[in-house]
Amino acid sequence: MSHSESSDEQFSFDYGESEIELTRRERLQDFYEEFIRKPGMVAWNDRRTRIGSAILFVYVLMGTVGVWFYRAPQTNQVDVPGYPGGRGVPPFTDLSAILGSTQQSGKDILAQIIHATPNMLLMVLSGGVFATVVAVLIGTVAGYKGGTVDTVLTSFTDFAMSIPGLPLVMVLAVVLRPTNPLVLGIVLMVNYWAGLGRAIRSEVLSIRQESFVEASRTMGVSTPRILFKDVIPNIMPYVLVNFANAARFVIFSSVGLYYLGILPAGVANWGIQLDRAYSQGSLVGIAALYQLLFPMIMIMGLALSMILLAQGADRIFNPRVRTRLAGESETIEEEEDADAPAGVMT
């Protein structure tokens, strides 16, 4: 083999390797632009997302760092004989219990709130993810496939919707007596997914007629790839909004069932605080009203963060907003490059 032929083969090999490397770099760059940079820009420019993220971050800190650094609730943590009940203090009067303590047991209110946060976050996560994933899978497959598959899945969804949700959850809670917050979140959402699945099916029925889906089918793209690349991204704003609604449902349902005494009282939860505050006369006079007020603020704050994040997520998945913000960013970068002195890298 001549030296020139060997050089040509070596050049071709090096060129091919460089081309593959460049392609991988471009794919990583496209992934960064589409899934990190542009969504981050949209989220940062939406005040609702910033506020919701800040509120949720506080809850996450309470549920992770707070439980390590703040004492666990115990009986007779605060003892002030002069206060009604003998063992409680009102809020903002004692640094050892800044939010006050219960009147009968003397437990720190803030300690109860902080140590109930991890269970609540786990319930919200498991319940919301379970309901959303099941609804998306059943709704997208039924709406896209049609025919017998659609009939079977829709009939199953209708059957789940026909079962009264609250009585079913109450029966399961009494029979299973779940103490694991992950399991409890799934029990609370055992048939919540059905209504969302029907709504997603309706959305998919309209999306499957779009030209880009028809083009993918014509090119022989597999059904799972069409669902995950073409269909599901187009329903993500609707899915995320309903994920927030599902999370709110988990919050209110768990609190209500704990308040009614249906779920085991040995698990820390804000609903148990509400029940004990009610039993101590917080609705009769104002002396114990703070025991009812602070858990309610925590419940409303967590629900509000979910609503704000869902509203902001709608803009994140809006292609027009992302394109506009990305274009503004590129214009700013070009102006900065033009204003930079000659020979200076920006």
323 domain residue, yes or no = no
The average confidence (pLDDT) of the chain is: 78
Residue 285, pLDDT score: 65
Residue 34, pLDDT score: 66
5 shares its domain with 52: no
Is it the case that residue 38 has pLDDT exceeding 80?
Answer: no
Between the CA of residue 122 and those of 39, 269, 299, what are the distances in Å? 26, 12, 14
Is it the case that residue 288 has pLDDT exceeding 90?
Answer: no
Q: Residue 60: which CATH number?
A: 1.10.3720.10
Alpha carbons within 13 A on the beta-carbon side of 149:
11
Higher pLDDT, 280 or 309: 309
83 domain residue, yes or no = no
Task: Measure CA of the first residue to CA of the last residue in the chain; give whole Å.
Answer: 49
Least confident of 14-18, 28-32, 86-90: 14-18
Which tokens go with 268?
């820390």
CB atoms within 10 A of CB 79: 12
129 shares its domain with 273: yes
d(CA 329, CA 336): 11
Residue 21, pLDDT score: 47
Residue 237, pLDDT score: 75
266 domain residue, yes or no = yes
Q: Tell me the average pLDDT across 174-185.
A: 87
- The model's pLDDT over 196-246, given as tens digits with 9 standing for 90+, comes to 999 999 988 888 888 888 888 888 888 888 888 788 878 877 888 888 888
236 shares its domain with 291: yes
Residue 235, pLDDT score: 83
116 shares its domain with 215: yes
d(CA 298, CA 124): 14
Least confident of 48-52, 105-109, 282-286: 282-286
Give the structural domain span for 296: 48-73+108-318
158 domain residue, yes or no = yes
30 shares its domain with 120: no
Residue 289, pLDDT score: 81
Residue 113, pLDDT score: 93
d(CA 334, CA 336): 5
Is it the case that residue 291 has pLDDT exceeding 50?
Answer: yes
Alpha helix (H) residue ranges in 146-231: 147-162, 165-176, 181-188, 193-207, 211-218, 223-226
98 domain residue, yes or no = no
Residue 282, pLDDT score: 67
Residue 104, pLDDT score: 75
Instruction: Provide the 3-class DSSP secondary structure of residue 82.
Output: coil
Between the CA of residue 88 and those of 74, 103, 107, what are the distances in Å? 12, 4, 8
34 shares its domain with 143: no
131 shares its domain with 265: yes
17 shares its domain with 115: no
115 shares its domain with 205: yes
How large is the angle between the packed helices 270-279 and 109-145, nearest 10 degrees?
A: 130
Is it the case that residue 250 has pLDDT exceeding 60?
Answer: yes
Residue 332, pLDDT score: 41
Instruction: Report long-range pairs for 213-222 (Cβ below 8 Å, ≥24 apart).
Output: none
16 domain residue, yes or no = yes
113 shares its domain with 187: yes
41 shares its domain with 52: no
d(CA 252, CA 260): 12
Is it the case that residue 13 has pLDDT exceeding 80?
Answer: no
Contact 262, 170 (CB under 8 A): yes
Of all residues in the chain, what percent carry a pLDDT higher than 70? 76
36 domain residue, yes or no = yes
Q: Tell me the average pLDDT across 311-339.
A: 56
Q: For residue 240, give every residue at least 6 positions away whose Cβ sits within 8 Å of its Cβ, in sequence order, or none.
A: 310, 313, 314, 317
114 shares its domain with 225: yes
Higher pLDDT, 7 or 314: 314
Which tokens go with 264?
């085991």
What confidence category does residue 155 fall into, taking pLDDT thresholds of 50, 70 and 90?
very high
Find the angle CA(41)-CA(45)-CA(48) to the nearest 5 degrees: 125
Higher pLDDT, 151 or 83: 151
Q: Tell me the average pLDDT across 170-182.
A: 87
Look at the chain and report how many structural domains it folds into. Answer: 2
What confidence category does residue 302 fall into, taking pLDDT thresholds of 50, 70 and 90?
very high
345 domain residue, yes or no = no
